[in-house]
């Protein structure tokens, strides 16, 4: 496998702390000494640090503080300290913990013999220009307390630029939970394989920018522990783009590109239907129909002139009362239901749950579903079913799962196993779970944390599904594509307009530019 292909494959893999330990044990059992791997790890970290120092204009005149713990993460830090010292950098090693592991202790003795400043006094870090965190690596499970907790809090209050090795010290490897306290890093250099903590919302404020240091772990050792087709994966640009229905056949027409029905909107939430429609428009779906209350039909026709707008009888409050009698749900490959619907539309949701096609439930459709029996209603369906809750909606749908589990990745997969549905658990790291696999989107932006962003995603996903269904391809990967594409549009918009300037309507205007920009880079 050439280096470029390997890099793409490695970027997709995610492991738990236990899996990482087992992979390392296989490597050591095969004959590589722990010390040799530590040297290799530190060499790669040092090379990466030189690039980062250049970005931050750190020179040999600046003071670099390296935080060292008792385990092999501390050993990595000590070897990095030694290599940076040999390169002429001004190094101080801060080691607040006694009784290190044997190998770590050996590196500490050698660092001292070289004359590197070695101290347990945290005041040595006060005048440092940058800090390297090697206190604790992956696998930490106990809370940090006492003097070490106090030291970490002092370090965080120093407001130094911090680069953490593998994980910020104090982060739980699998859940991202803060174990009492944790180092707040600006950059984290994840070693070998991505850990689950990087893909959960909990610890993201502490991880900062994350980069993977590939340690050339043999794929055979990885596969032996997690399998050739891992349960947990990162959505990458390549996996997302490969699922797009592009290029289209030269003889395609609107019916080959599928027909989507969106049921959305109310007098109060007209915009939700418009935003979902604009998201669907960007997908290139062949035909788009949108069912809305009669009173807001003119607004939809104005914004989406190419769409078929279906007026529906409405309640006194301006919500859809019922679908027109002549509407034939069998005409559509996919039905989206929920954005701006209000909870008055329970009869609509109950009818859509019986539809003989793929459905996507979002927003108020999920609030209505929570009042029914969500597990029974979803597991009874024989056609592809996708639900797109944020965490609050997820808690209302599956309170019994929330009571027993904190790990959002596990929660999403458990919900998928219970219902047979595809769960899109939205957040800073959106999780796409099927009964067999989980995919996490590693790239997003706080700019998407605004009302209406989810409506855009629902419409985009709805529009991407029909041609996939007509081609009789599995729908799971196109869900990943929609999640990735939506986030890339947000990132591009935030880059050009700042994170404050990306309202949901603006987001719809960046869907096509974001995709176009990426396609140009690969052609």
List binding-site positions for K(+).
73, 133, 169
SS3 110: helix
Q: How far is CA 482 from CA 80, 275, 393, 487, 489, in A?
A: 41, 15, 20, 9, 11
The set of residues, in sequence order, having a beta carbon less than 8 Å from that of 204 and lying 6+ positions away, is 176, 428, 429
Tokens coding 246: 């592009």
372: left (phi over 0), alpha (psi -120 to 50) or beta: beta
Binding residues for (6S)-NADPHX: 72-76, 137-143, 166, 272, 340, 390, 455
Of 179, 236, 165, 174, residue with least CA distance to 207: 165
DSSP reduced 3-state for 495: helix
Q: Which residues pair with 290 in a beta bridge?
A: 262, 309
Dmax (CA) for the chain in angstroms is: 86
Give the closest residue to 269 by CA, choosing from 244, 293, 302, 251: 293
Residue pair 245/15 in contact (Cβ under 8 Å)? The answer is: no
Q: At what angle do helices 72-86 and 102-113 cross, to 10 degrees?
A: 20
37 with 217: CB under 8 angstroms?
A: no
Task: Answer for the pair 460, 279: CB distance below 8 angstroms, yes or no.
Answer: yes
If you search the block for the tokens 């629902």, which residue do you land on? 458
Which residues are CB-contacts of 476 (< 8 A; sequence separation ≥ 6)? 422, 432, 434, 437
- Best CA proximity match to 328, nearest among 298, 300, 351: 351
**Cα atoms in the Cβ-side hemisphere of radius 13 Å centred on 58:** 25
User: Which residues make up each annotated binding site for AMP?
Assistant: 426-430, 454
> Which letter, b or e, does each residue of 371-391 get, where b requires 16 or more Cβ atoms within 10 Å of its Cβ?
eeebbebbeebeebbbbbbbe
The SS3 assignment for 108 reads helix
Residues in the annotated binding site: 72-76, 133, 137-143, 166, 169, 272, 340, 390, 426-430, 454-455
Distance CA 475, CA 464 (A): 9
């Amino acid at each position: 496998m050439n280096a470029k292909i390997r890099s793409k494959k490695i970027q997709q893999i995610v492991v738990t702390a236990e899996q990482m330990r087992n992979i390392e044990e296989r490597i050591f059992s095969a004959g590589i000494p722990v010390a040799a791997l530590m040297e290799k790890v530190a060499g790669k970290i040092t090379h990466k640090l030189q690039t980062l120092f250049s970005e931050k204009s750190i020179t040999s005149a600046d003071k670099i503080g390296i935080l060292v713990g008792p385990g092999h993460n501390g050993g990595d830090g000590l070897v990095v300290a030694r290599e940076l010292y040999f390169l002429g950098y001004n190094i101080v090693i801060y080691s607040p913990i006694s009784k290190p592991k044997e190998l770590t202790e050996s590196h500490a003795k050698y660092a001292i013999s070289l004359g590197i400043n070695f101290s347990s006094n945290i005041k040595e870090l006060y005048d440092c220009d940058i800090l390297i965190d090697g206190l604790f690596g992956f696998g930490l499970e106990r809370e940090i307390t006492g003097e070490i907790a106090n030291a970490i809090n002092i370090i965080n209050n120093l407001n130094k630029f911090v680069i953490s090795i593998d994980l910020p010290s104090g982060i739980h490897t699998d859940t991202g939970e803060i174990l009492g306290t944790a180092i707040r890093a600006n950059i984290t250099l994840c070693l070998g394989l991505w850990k689950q903590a990087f893909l959960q919302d909990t610890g993201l404020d502490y991880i900062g920018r994350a980069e993977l240091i590939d340690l050339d772990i043999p794929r055979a050792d990885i596969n032996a522990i997690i399998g050739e087709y891992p349960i947990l994966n990162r959505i990458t640009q390549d996996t997302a783009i490969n699922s797009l229905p592009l290029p289209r056949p030269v003889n395609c027409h609107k019916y080959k590109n599928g027909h989507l029905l969106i049921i959305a909107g109310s007098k109060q939430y007209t915009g939700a239907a418009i935003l979902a429609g604009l998201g669907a428009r960007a997908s290139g779906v062949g035909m788009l129909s949108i069912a809305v209350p009669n009173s807001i039909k003119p607004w939809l026709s104005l914004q989406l002139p190419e769409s078929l707008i279906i007026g529906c009888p409405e309640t006194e409050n301006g919500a859809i009362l019922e679908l027109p009698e002549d509407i034939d749900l069998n005409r559509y490959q996919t039905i989206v239901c929920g954005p701006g619907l209000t909870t008055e539309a329970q009869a609509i949701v109950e009818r859509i749950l019986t539809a003989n096609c793929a459905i996507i439930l979002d927003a108020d459709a999920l609030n209505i579903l929570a009042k029914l029996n969500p597990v029974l209603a979803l597991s009874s369906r024989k056609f592809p079913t996708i639900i797109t809750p944020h965490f609050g909606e997820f808690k209302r749908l599956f309170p019994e799962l929330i009571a027993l589990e904190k790990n959002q990745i596990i929660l999403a997969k458990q919900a998928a196993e219970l219902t047979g549905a595809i769960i899109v658990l939205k957040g800073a790291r959106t999780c796409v779970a099927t009964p067999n696999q989980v995919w996490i989107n590693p790239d997003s932006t706080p700019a998407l944390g605004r009302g209406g962003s989810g409506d855009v995603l629902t419409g985009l996903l709805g529009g991407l599904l029909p041609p996939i269904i007509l081609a009789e391809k599995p729908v799971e990967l196109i869900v990943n594509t929609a999640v990735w594409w939506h986030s890339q549009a947000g990132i591009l918009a935030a880059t050009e307009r700042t994170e404050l300037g990306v309202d949901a309507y603006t987001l719809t205007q960046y869907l096509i530019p974001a995709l176009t920009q990426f396609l140009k880079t690969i052609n």
